[in-house]
Chain A
């Protein structure tokens, strides 16, 4: 149900999305700037792309776009407020900023080289219209002007209104109607003089003024009208007439191809953006994944998880506890195939232990009397159902050197005492105060005399028995055999693991008994029968 719900949600989301796909046509009408006329070779490079492409009529222009005009070429761009610029031949311009927010409009061009003529609609206080060159900035609030830049100088001429012309070094002059000025590459400004050099743009301005007049009139009837008028004008210029077209005038163009291209370009831009978002997301996801992989690797390194020869996972954890100041315990837990075995070793000393236990404390013989020595050792092997306890108590004894003798050793299976040996102080004689096994041991190879495997079986007077099996195996789970060559010997030294298995008639688990694995006793073969 839950899955179905999630699937339905996604189906709904995507289907709703596609329903509104056609709405993207609005982008064309709502774009801030549109190519309103051009001639010759004019190229545009969209923000975030590498290649220049031919410009199209009614193509939206976006922030970050770069435009180049060739010889005998020009391009006109009309803005949403009916401002208009003309980029003249052999020019290179970047649309640095193009934003509209509430009542403020920001339009900034970076004129690398070439010529630009502009008629700017009167701007409000919060709005900006600037032309940047590498030497100067021309800032206006509503005027008709032209800027030209070459390698050494930037020129500005004003045909109506006034502009603020400032060098990048901070010098600033105001140029009024009918005046022009220049700023050189050293930031030196020239006093405004009457229009002379910049008069060459007068004709362009006249044409642009005419166009603006029409645009402003058509603006009230909607952008679509303006777009259709431009297409009509362009067709007329190219010798075509409206009647010659088989297609009805549509948004963007009389020619479907033009509309599709413009739409494709908008979609392409946004598509790149969403793909970039997906790529960023993938980067995040991969970064996070890397951490988990390194954590798993560390677990392998620590021997906490491993895979046996059957492809199954074994988990081993070791803990050290200090339950009281005289005691230190090791707990080794093994988990595989849904069963848990553990080994617990409790080491109890004669005195409180320091944080770092000196190595001498673990010895059995000393020349001088030791301060810290072990007095008891309790070992438990358990599969959580059955357990075997082996306990030893110690006493310090001086016989030449100081020695640690065991005074009592007991072995119990599931809390039933099976063996107990005690030492009479000062002698090495053992006394048995409970019945001993009737057969103490029965040691023989498991399969053949060549196998490095042994088992010892103890049969007790009550009829119960305990069997200990030891296997030497290589890293691939194969039983080692008696080495015959030097290579076999080396292999035995470097690639041998010890397996240990305890079986007892008293155990509830008759098959595997207790499989406690300390790290060095890595159990690669789970069931010796296999």
Chain B
């Protein structure tokens, strides 16, 4: 990794010395957040203040001797300590800190004006502190992604319809450095379980092989209507996680997920700023991992519930948003822009059954619904400097009523007031 980084830095500096065009871009934002969670039966509502900030920097540069190759490194950093409603009960809010660092480096090779190849290597470190006893920087769900993607971008016209097609392949190696199974910490007195051939340590670590195609088209040369149609297929084998057999024991096979997503969005631009967009995403996840629920009994397995393909689900995501630029300027020399967004996210599990309040399985499959309404107002103060106000109301409901470990039915409001700079 170090060698790779050094080679990248060397190429980058060499290229910069000979660069003929250099275009930098830098986006910064920071804001205060207010979160509000209405109280459920018998509990007081919760509210809290937090902070979030983000930074995204990049540049593109080419050289005289390779004018068709653009070198593009990027660096993004996001931090938030907005209160999140986790599975805590009497104090539904928990201050969780989240820091995400994403670095990428690669080239765009313009073979001709209508054909471009993109190659990117990326590295990501994601830190999250989700509970009070968790130390920031060594969280259970911290993870590291490394990988690359390669994209082939073609622009062409089909009966006066301009089309841009992107065909891509992405490879991700994902590691959770702090997540290891509790089994691996067992003392020597029960070491026979650690020695069992199918036990494992790194439960979450996996690889992703993603194939995707995006088509972006304009409905005609002069049309303000556009359409984006995408399809992606992710093949995700786990390094160690073993598949749970029908009797609850671990089999020889490792978990493999296969996730397909079909997305359609139809944007309409009345002007450069104002417009609207409809969108629909359909995701179908297939897994070979199962689950045996022992129902909390250790010496009577007769009540156990075996659920095959526990992670199988269909997801329907409907989106609609309107962007509106106000016709007048307000206090500054720029017009405010409002965005209203609505989304409905429905996850239907293929085999997972919902539970009632007593923790007993119902006959119906689990379905989680998430409704989100958001309003964003943004106005430039100067050409590069703007402020924004965002309010997001999210309502979750589910036919899952057993909330001993996690909450499934609640609503949540977040208001962010912030400022952004774009160079």
Contact = CB atoms under 8 A, between A and B. Distances in A.
B80 to A, nearest CB: 12
Interface string A129-157: 00000100000000000000000000000
A16 B13 CA distance: 8
Interface stretch (B298-306, B319-327, B372-380): B298-306
14 contacts: A13-B13, A50-B224, A50-B271, A63-B114, A270-B23, A278-B74, A289-B100, A298-B310, A307-B131, A317-B183, A332-B298, A343-B298, A384-B186, A494-B357
Interface in B137-159: 140-141, 143, 145, 149, 157
Contacts of A458: none
Nearest to A62: B113
B131 A63 contact: no
A295 interface: yes
A14 B57 contact: yes
B412 to A, nearest CB: 15
B302 A275 contact: no
A379 B299 contact: yes
A178 interface: no
A9 B9 contact: yes
A344 B181 CA distance: 16
Given A311-B94, A312-B131, A331 B59 contact: no
Task: Classify the interface of chain B: helix, strand, loop or mixed.
Answer: mixed
B259 to A, nearest CB: 8
A519 interface: yes
A286 to B, nearest CB: 10
Interface stretch (B45-53, B387-395, B401-409): B401-409
Contact of A271 (B13, B25, B141): B25
Nearest to A320: B248
Contact size range, B: 35 or more
B163 interface: no
Given A101-B112, A273-B60, A317-B181, A519 B294 contact: yes
A188 B61 CA distance: 49
A99 B113 CA distance: 6
B299 to A, nearest CB: 5
Contact of B102 (A134, A285, A332): A285
B271 A51 contact: yes
B109 to A, nearest CB: 12
B16 A13 contact: yes
B298 A292 contact: no
Given A323-B192, A330-B294, A518-B296, A292 B141 contact: yes
A344 B182 CA distance: 14
Interface string B261-282: 0000000010110000000000
A80 to B, nearest CB: 14
A313 B133 contact: yes
Contacts of B236: 291
A382 B186 CA distance: 11
Interface string A341-379: 011110100000001110101110000000000000101
Nearest to B68: A101
A274 B58 CA distance: 7
Contacts of B174: 288, 292
B23 A356 contact: no
Contact of B131 (A18, A292, A311, A323): A311
Given A312-B132, A522-B404, A342 B186 contact: yes
Interface in B120-135: 120, 122, 124, 126, 130-134
A313 B12 contact: no
Contacts of B331: none
A285 B90 contact: no
A229 interface: no
Interface string A289-330: 101100111101111011101111101011111110000111
A307 B247 contact: no
A359 B310 CA distance: 23
A63 B114 CA distance: 9
Contact of A518 (B22, B192, B272, B298): B298
Interface of B: 9, 12-13, 16-17, 19-25, 27, 43, 56-61, 68, 72-76, 86-91, 94, 100, 102, 104, 108, 112-114, 120, 122, 124, 126, 130-134, 140-141, 143, 145, 149, 157, 160, 170, 172, 174, 181-183, 185-187, 189-190, 192-193, 196, 199, 204, 208, 221, 224, 236, 245-250, 269, 271-272, 291-292, 294-302, 310-311, 352, 357-359, 400, 403-406
A311 B183 contact: no
Of A301, A494, A495, chain B has the most CB atoms within 10 Å of the CB of A301
A15 to B, nearest CB: 10
A270 B58 CA distance: 12
Quick one: which of A26, A106, A333 has the most chain B CB within 10 A? A333
A388 interface: no
Contacts of A26: 20-21
B131 A520 contact: no
Contacts of B358: 493-494
Contact of A17 (B24, B298, B301, B359): B24
B268 to A, nearest CB: 11
A526 to B, nearest CB: 10
Contacts of A298: 310-311
A274 B302 contact: no
Nearest to A292: B143
Interface in A34-59: 49-51
B193 to A, nearest CB: 6
B72 A333 contact: no
Contacts of A291: 208, 236
B298 A345 contact: yes
A300 B247 contact: no
A197 interface: no
Contacts of B187: 382, 384
B56 A278 contact: yes
B9 A23 contact: no
A10 B172 CA distance: 25
Contacts of A267: 23
A377 B294 CA distance: 17
Given A277-B60, A306-B87, A313-B130, A270 B301 contact: no
Contact of A356 (B60, B199, B246): B246
